[in-house]
């Protein structure tokens, strides 16, 4: 049976019990504990306090499509547009740009998320919504053509706009923390 056929059957079952709070609660508990273990445990990754100072800025920059390089020793950050080299930078801005991060010994590079990672963040946002009507609308949007454009259009014209920005920013910051945590653990710090 194809994934779409399975999804259709699951949605039929959910539709049949949509007004039964107890059954929906049991289904949710099952899905969270057996299908997606770990989703109910939102333990925050702890990194040394000195690195917390750069998390928000790096998250903002990668969400804007920039590559960020962090000097793990000095906490200096260098960012630049993805897919650009020194020559292209000079042609575009008229300025000579020297990539400082190439001289750093202990550097961690953060790149903009892949579209699949961004899609997962959108799915996670939809999953945690309390309003089932909005949730169902967004699920339909994510399962159809041009999900990014339609999702953004829907969200930007809804009461969930600020909630989405907070959720997305939190997801980006979590990823930055995870990468710093991994780098520190790989280095034995």
pLDDT at 22 over 90: no
DSSP letters for 15-49? HHTTT-HHHHHHHHHHIIIIISTTTT--PPPP--H
The pLDDT > 70 percentage for the chain reads: 92
Compute the average pLDDT of residues 33-51: 69
Residue 173 has pLDDT above 90, yes or no: yes
Residue 38 has pLDDT above 60, yes or no: no
Is the per-residue pLDDT at 188 higher than 90?
no
Statement: residue 90 has pLDDT above 50 = yes
Inform me whether the pLDDT recorded for 26 exceeds 90: no
pLDDT confidence tier of residue 40, bands split at 50, 70 and 90: very low
pLDDT at 43: 58
Provide the residue ranges of all domains of the chain, joining segments of one domain with +: 1-41, 49-113
What confidence score (pLDDT) does residue 31 get? 78
**Residue 138, Cα to own-chain centre: how many angstroms?**
17
Which residues contact residue 173 at a Cβ distance below 8 angstroms, ignoring those fewer than 6 apart? 55, 56, 59
pLDDT at position 6 is 79
pTM: 0.70
Residue 109's pLDDT is: 95
pLDDT tens-digit series, residues 54-83: 999 999 999 999 999 999 999 999 998 877
At a CB cut-off of 8 Å and minimum separation 6, what does 98 contact? 86
């Amino acid at each position: 049976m194809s994934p779409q056929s399975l999804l259709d059957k699951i949605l039929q079952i959910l539709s049949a019990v949509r007004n039964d709070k107890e059954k929906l609660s049991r289904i949710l508990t099952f899905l969270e504990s057996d299908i997606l273990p770990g989703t109910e445990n939102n333990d925050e990754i702890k990194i040394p306090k000195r690195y917390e100072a750069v998390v928000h800025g790096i998250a903002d920059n990668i969400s804007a499509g920039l590559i960020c390089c962090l000097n793990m020793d000095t906490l200096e950050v260098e960012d630049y547009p993805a897919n650009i080299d020194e020559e292209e930078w000079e042609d575009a801005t008229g300025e000579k740009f020297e990539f400082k991060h190439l001289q750093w010994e202990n550097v961690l590079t953060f790149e903009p998320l892949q579209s699949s990672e961004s899609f997962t963040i959108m799915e996670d946002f939809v999953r945690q919504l309390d309003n089932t009507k909005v949730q169902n609308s967004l699920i339909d949007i994510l399962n159809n053509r041009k999900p990014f454009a339609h999702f953004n259009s829907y969200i930007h014209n809804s009461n969930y706009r600020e909630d989405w920005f907070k959720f997305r920013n939190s997801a980006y910051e979590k990823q930055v923390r995870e990468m710093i945590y991994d780098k520190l653990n790989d280095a034995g710090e």
